[in-house]
Structure 1
Amino acid sequence: MPKTDSRVLALDLGTSSARALVLSPDLSPVEGALARHKISPSYGAGGAATLDLHDYVEGLLGCLDELQQNGHLVDISDIVLSSQWHSIVALSSTGAALTPVIPWVDTRSVPAPVGSDFDECAFHARTGAWLHRLYWPRRIPWLRSIVSPAFYAGLPDLVLERLTSERVTSVSIASGTGTLDLASGAYDAEALAVAGVSGSQLPPIVPTGWTGVLSSAFALRWPALAGVPIHPPTGDGAASNVGTGGYDETTAAVTVGTSAAVRVVHPIEDAPELPWELWRYRVDDKRAVTGMAFSAAGNLHAWLTGVLQLDAGHREPTGIEIGSSRVIGVPFQAGTRPPETVPGGSGAYFGLSFDDTAADLLAASLQGASLEIDRGLRMLDGLFGRQLEVVLGGGGIDASAWWRNCLTATFARPTEVCAEAEVGARGAAAVALGLSPAPCGESLRPVAADVDRVAELRPRYESLRALTVQAANSLS
């Protein structure tokens, strides 16, 4: 039977923060039981973006200390982890880190060493990934060109090792490396060959039901957690889907955090053939998640409100009708995700005039991001043969009523809003404990006039998007 009668400690390993929070038996956050360590990636030349591993882990451990000091580490039945996908660290033969954490936003790599007989379509169908710098088959050869690693691991693997003294990974985290055979749940032989490694150089993959416990040193540091089972980490995209209430093939979950995504969770057995434009990862031993991700979302909103120096009362495009702005924003400030190859620094605005306001620019940006997400949703509709129900979740959704309504109008269908902002932590707990949380938020219906305006805007946006892609790729 699923567990529903105890509190859960969730560790959320994000790109902008590491957090520890306590969830009640119904998977809602316990008031006041949240500790956060802010993460500031270091950016450099050539597309470099890194996270300091020591600072990250010590900050997370400090979050647990804070929860203990405030009396929140009591009556905990399980410890779960939700983590960013795609990160990698090169390790020495003794397990020491030779590099910082390389997260998804880092764009450095070297060309993939493949022969003329390499079939990327077959590779994509098996692994759900492309031969792209986001994934380990391209990351590892690049890392090997700058250091001499013996092993490789992701951030969640190293956090788990620090806590339990066991370096293992989950099928969910492994799927985000681009080295997993999705059907078998084992490392893919061709992906390993392209990367130039053996499976023994990567963390062993443990089943969803595996649990570890805190090492003796940490059991002394947090005695209330001694012997509490620690579950394998779930990739943040999969966790966010389940956490919003999108946990079967009838429902697409749209989550907006630093980045954004639209995804559908479905059984891995008899999964529909994967279109080239979409990725597919694993949720757990029995389920996969198929979708499309977008690099500009909450980060776009934060950047633009900062550039425009908007105070808290003006961070929504109040007074601008959805789909009505003359300005069109193509949100490629952080480039595009694969299989497209638009580099960062390619964002564009069209139609600017002297009478445009900060609200016009903000509306154009949020509208552009909504149209990008809608492209993925329509592909998923076609893949699953129905107009999917939609649930919205994440910090960006929680923060902006205008954006919620814009997405609903752009999708031209009703949406359900997840009432909990902590969808990643909630989903990781649901995956580990076999639960199916409901959205429990407001229901939105599209306004007909908004839908019509967006429908008129869409062809102009698509034309200008294509122009932006062409210009960005010709200049890169």
Structure 2
Amino acid sequence: MTAPDLVPDLVLGVDIGTTATKAVAFAPDGTEHGRGESPHRLDEPEPGAAVQDPEALWEAVGDAVRDAVADLDPARVATVAFSSAMHGLLALDAEGDPVGPLMTWADSRATETARELRRRDGALALHRRTGTPIHPMSPLVKLAWLRRARPSLHATAHTWGGVKEFVLARAAGARVADTSGASGTGLLDLATGTWDPEALDIAGIAADALGEPVAPTAVVGRLRVRDWGLPTGVPVVAGGGDGPLANLGVGGVRPGVAACSIGTSGALRVTVDRPAVDPRGRVFCYGLADQRWVVGGAITNGGLVLDWARETLHRDVDDLLAAAAAVPAGADGLLALPHLLAERAPHWDSVGAGAFVGLHRRHGAGHVTRALLEGVCLQLRLVLDAMREAGQAVDEVRATGGATRSELWRRLLTDALGLPVGFPAVDQGSAFGAALLGMQGVGLLPPGPEGLEAAAERVPLGETLHPGPDAEVYDARLPLFEQVHAALADVGAALDR
């Protein structure tokens, strides 16, 4: 068969994450035909800052795409669809080029602004309308902070967006914002799918400073980049936020099935058929696609706690995990509050202050490591309980992310959540979720919610674990974990100032 006779049968899912961009070529049945990955650097130029160079991110996207299609006939690629880390904020000039760095979700410089906004009348109503907690991660809060702390940048920026909006504009000439990623900005009204007037007023910007909201399955343009190893003219599908797309990519779109991810950070989400926000403001609600949303919570401190242990204890990760596995559940009486960075769900209190409680001379590197991992899993259990108290039934979990490659992490997560946890064979959930939206966008999958459910059936499931005897240990530890957080919240906030 000659190249002109080829029928495009592959979709490229590109996930622009915090630590790397990953591009994977998928067939409609979920089989993988090529992948590429390019790492990112996260800079901390001042206290609280967590920024990235957008031009370096652009180069990383190109590198990952080129590697993914290097051994393929590019004529086989039917579309390119994108996922990206949520809550980033980037100022752009009139030409669509970046003005300064990307403020990532981990940037906490707007912490005091978030506290002030949470005290405003109508703060909880704003959370309910937009689905996004008032927290330093939120672009709404970042914009309010920039308005006061960086007035020149705030006033001179022509438009605002995140990394995906920047990439879509440069790659396909599309000045848009998909409603999935936009639902994590704190600026989008979930019910109407339009920019919220009160949020815009707080941010100090007009609606035309943001991209036009579009469906995540929308074909927003044609590829015009010539050095990605793909022909120009390939349809580009908007895609969505990495969190909601991870639900789709691991098959977590049926009622009662939650998706959990533990990478640098972590999250737990369940898919719903109408926007729903906890009346107490403990969970988020973000858009997926086609009348589907996800409700849940994100935690800041996931796998990064293991990186901290490696750097601090001067042991490699495999040694630390082996030492932790040799320690009994409960870490021999050591409890860790693993809040190395300002934590998010379910308290959203912006306090970045961890602690070890019950530390004794008998404790070593294995105890410290296990206590940290248990703390991460207990934080996710708090998110699960908040989701249930908000009316969301959760009966099983699908888990993905780098941490789930560890047998110890898998067991701790299953026992701490107290639910069956399945581990999909697809290890790039957000990239696969983006690819599935791309398939819908170009007609390789049926449209609408039925298409999403059909897509979920294509996710191959690997191992499933069930809670073991140690689940009782974590049930008993959970109230103590909550008590430690409550007791140290004011102390942590005071030390953080």
Q: In the TM superposition, what whole-angstrom CA distance separates every residue of 1:87-106 from its partner, at most 9, and x where no partner exists? A: 11112234332221111111
Q: 5 Å matches for 1:50-61?
A: 50-61=51-62
CA separation of 1:342 and 1:136: change in aligned 2, threshold 3 A: closer
Amino acid at match of 2:486: A
Report 1:25-424 matches (<5 A): 25-30=28-33, 33-71=34-72, 73-109=74-110, 111=113, 118-144=121-147, 145-147=151-153, 148-216=156-224, 218=225, 220-222=226-228, 224-268=230-274, 271=276, 274-311=279-316, 313-316=318-321, 317-337=324-344, 339-344=347-352, 346-384=353-391, 386-397=393-404, 399-424=405-430
State how far apart, in whole Å, the 2-side matches of 1:115 and 1:406 are: 34
Shift of 1:431: 3.4
C-alpha contact 1:260 1:295 (8 A) present in aligned 2? yes
Asked if the contact 1:47/1:106 (under 8 Å) is kept, the reply is: yes
Following superposition, the deviation at residue 390 of structure 1 comes to: 1.6
1:463 counterpart letter in structure 2: Q
Measured in 1, the distance between the counterparts of 2:415 and 2:310 equals 23
**Residue 37 of structure 2 contacts residue 67 of structure 2 at CA under 8 Å; is this kept in 1?**
no
**How far, CA to CA, are the matches of 2:217 and 2:146 in structure 1?**
32
Secondary structure in structure 2 of the residue aligned to 1:276: coil
Mapped pair 1:441 → 2:446: no
Q: Distance in 1 between matches of 2:54 and 2:188?
A: 24
Q: Deviations over 1:130-181 (max 9, x none)?
A: 3332223222233342412121111100011111012211000111111000
Report the CA distance between 1:236 and its aligned residue.
0.5
Task: Tell me the amino acid that sits aligned with residue 157 of structure 1.
Answer: E
Structure 1: gaps (5+ residues)? none
Residues 51, 103 of structure 1: 8 Å contact kept: yes
**Aligned partners of 2:269 and 2:424: how far apart in 1?**
15
Q: Distance in 1 between matches of 2:401 and 2:73?
A: 24
Counterparts of 2:255 and 2:286, CA distance in 1:
14
Report how far residue 232 of structure 1 moved.
0.8
Amino acid at match of 1:111: T
1:427 and 2:433 are equivalent in the alignment: yes
- Superposition deviation, residue 21 in structure 1: 1.9
Q: Which runs of 5+ in 2 are unaligned?
A: 1-6, 441-450
Q: Flag the 1:427–1:181 CA change in 2: closer, same or farther, 3 A.
A: same
1:463 counterpart residue number: 483
Give me the whole-angstrom Cα distance separating, in 2, the residues matched to 1:60 and 1:425: 13
Indicate if the aligned counterparts of 2:109 and 2:136 stay in contact, CA closer than 8 A.
yes
Deviates more, 1:303-312 or 1:404-413: 303-312
- Superimposed CA distance per residue, residues 335-361 of structure 1 (whole angstroms, 9 cap, x where no aligned partner): 2126532433x1111222222221111
Amino acid at match of 2:308: W
Runs of 4+ in 1 over 6 A off after TM superposition: 112-117
Q: Secondary structure at the match of 2:378?
A: helix
Give the whole-Å Cα distance in 2 for the aligned partners of 1:168 and 1:131.
Answer: 24
CA distance in 2, matches of 1:209, 1:459: 43
Distance 2:53 2:223 in 1: 23
Q: So what's the TM-score if we normalise by structure 2?
A: 0.87
Structure 1 residue 65 displacement after superposition: 2.9
Report if the CA contact (8 A) 1:252-1:377 is conserved. no
Distance 1:285 1:99, change over 3 A: farther
Q: Per the alignment, do residues 116 and 447 of structure 1 end up closer, same or farther by CA in structure 2, a change over 3 Å counting?
A: closer
Equivalent residues of 2:30, 2:459 under 8 A apart: no
**What is the alpha-carbon distance in structure 1 between the residues aligned to residue 63 and residue 120 of structure 2?**
50
The 1:386/1:36 distance shift into structure 2, 3 A limit, reads: closer
CA distance in 1, matches of 2:388, 2:73: 43
Under a length normalisation based on structure 1, what TM-score does the superposition of the two structures give? 0.91
Letter of the 1:289 partner, please give it: V
CA shift for structure 1 position 123: 0.8
Change (3 A) 1:146 1:315: farther
> Quick check: 253-262 or 439-448, which moved more?
439-448
Q: Indicate if the aligned counterparts of 2:96 and 2:169 stay in contact, CA closer than 8 A.
A: no
Shift of 1:395: 1.6
After superposition, the C-alpha distances for 1:274-328 in whole angstroms (9 at most, x for unaligned) are 5411111111241111111111111111221232232354241221222353211
Q: Percent identity?
A: 28
Q: Which residue of 1 aligns with 2:443?
A: none
SS at match of 2:103: coil
1:325·1:363 contact (CA, 8 Å) conserved in 2? Answer: no
**1:209-265 superposed Cα distances (whole Å, 9 cap, x missing partner):** 42134444x2x4457443322111210100111112211331111111110011111
Q: Is the 8 A contact 2:13 2:433 kept in 1?
A: no
